[in-house]
Structure 1
């Protein structure tokens, strides 16, 4: 379905949430709003192929409709299990339909819960795709540190996020590029403005430096951006063997 959630004026804009209305249009919304999203999914598959360890667990934290889960499952090694977590019941229910539509011998455990409440253990891959930005900033270090502790030596964290820039001129220029991306994908000025207002104080971004410092503090010796399109990036952090 086409995303028309903000196509008409809203007298009172509620804070953005992943409810039934968003779930129904989510694939269209993310393709038209997040530059490079498909490339990130492809990269997750290739990184899974390279770093997945047999008989380990793979986590998709903030799995939404299960796109990263399905991508990882295609490349998972023998004896692996995928744990896919989202705190939106509507997302989890729709994810079940998507995942059951593809046959695989790799089991997927779908959990409706706060990703901060999930124990990470025996993990070779953890993916957080555009989810950390919705968690309270003061809780983010604890989550990244817990992930590091739950990863096996040689395991990886793939973290995709919208970031912001310290330099005001750079921030303005790249915001303009992203706005043009959304306009080119058919979003009106009304839709862009209303969605931005609904996300204010809900999506709180970090800088690249903040993310990298957080991973370093957690214990990752190697971490870097592996993909970037405008203000959307994906980090790869590797736990030393």
Structure 2
């Protein structure tokens, strides 16, 4: 059961860089719901999109799967024969808890897609041919200089008719636009019960770890990686999700 996110509720002399450790895993569902506007809509609709792009007897990847929210959505929606989901994360606590959540899903539903969970660095992953790849708020934690190479490898693994779904926090080239949407995001966090201290300390913890790009940067990089079309399908404040077609 998820706990309330109180990780940054007490003053810290030195705020360490954010990591997906056991403390974060315990509160992650609460943290993500209160921090990322539109997150439930994105997750559920990745399942719907998956049902459109999944081809029979193919692999569906959830890269940076965390607790498996996207994996569960794909299992709810994709009905193509012979498909299976591979969830990958480099956090051992995430993979362990993700397995618990998936076993609970299995207990409530029948005839769901089989799942394989892998603890691995997605930069070193041996990719299988696949019809769907979800990168749901994952690329922003990859070093910027490694992003194009990763996306190029993902494009090469996609089967004809497949798709990459990329969800990311955005930054904006226009300073006023960036400041407005940043302030609105902080308002969103306040409305969800985070204190000024929690907001400030979380920002300090994550600023060296998560490096967002502009929408134009994402589009140009995806096209450079070999994708033929990039279609934004969702945005709420400074969070967005894109469909990239091979």
TM bin (shorter chain): over 0.9
The equivalent residue for 1:111 is 118
Tell me if the contact between 1:120 and 1:151 (Cα under 8 Å) persists in the aligned partners: no
TM-score w.r.t. length of structure 2 = 0.95
Residue 73 of structure 1: how far off its partner (Å): 1.3
Query: Partner residue of 2:217?
Result: 210
Q: Which of 126, 129, 138 is 1:131 aligned to?
A: 138
- Deviates further, 97-106 or 132-141: 97-106
> Contact (CA 8 Å) 2:20, 2:91: kept in 1 or not?
yes
**Which of 197, 210, 214 matches 1:190?**
197
CA distance in 2, matches of 1:236, 1:120: 19
Q: How many residues align?
A: 239
Rounded Cα–Cα distance in structure 1 between residues aligned with 2:243 and 2:127: 18
Point out where structure 2 has 5 or more consecutive residues left out of the alignment. Answer: none
1:156-235 equivalences in 2 (<5 Å): 156-235=163-242
TM-align CA RMSD: 0.8
Which shows bigger deviation, 70-79 or 128-137? 70-79
Given candidates 7, 10, 13, the residue that maps to 1:8 is 10
Q: Is residue 158–residue 236 contact of structure 1 (8 Å, CA) maintained in 2?
A: yes
Question: Which residue in the other structure is 1:142 paired with?
Answer: 149
Distance in 1 (CA, whole Å) between partners of 2:98 and 2:221 is 30
Between the aligned partners of 2:215 and 2:241, the Cα distance in structure 1 is 10
Question: Deviation string for 1:188-229 (max 9, x for gaps)?
Answer: 000000000001111011110110011101111111211000
Matched with 1:49 is: 51
1:4-59 Cα distance to aligned partner (Å, 9 max, x none): 00000011111000000000000000000000001101210110111110000000
List, as ranges, runs of 4+ consecutive aligned residues in structure 1 with deviation greater than 4 Å: none
Partner-residue secondary structure (3-state), 2:105: coil
Distance of 2:231 and 2:113 partners within structure 1: 29
Instruction: Report how far residue 75 of structure 1 moved.
Output: 2.4
Other-structure match for 1:79 = 82
Alpha-carbon distance between aligned partners in 2 of 1:175 and 1:218, rounded to the nearest angstrom: 29
For residues 72 and 52 of structure 2, what CA distance do their matches in structure 1 show? 16
Distance in structure 2 (CA, Å) of the matches to 1:224 and 1:162: 16
1:101 aligns with 2:108: no
Question: 1:19 is matched with which residue: 6, 18, 21?
Answer: 21
* Superposition TM-score, scaled by structure 1 size: 0.97
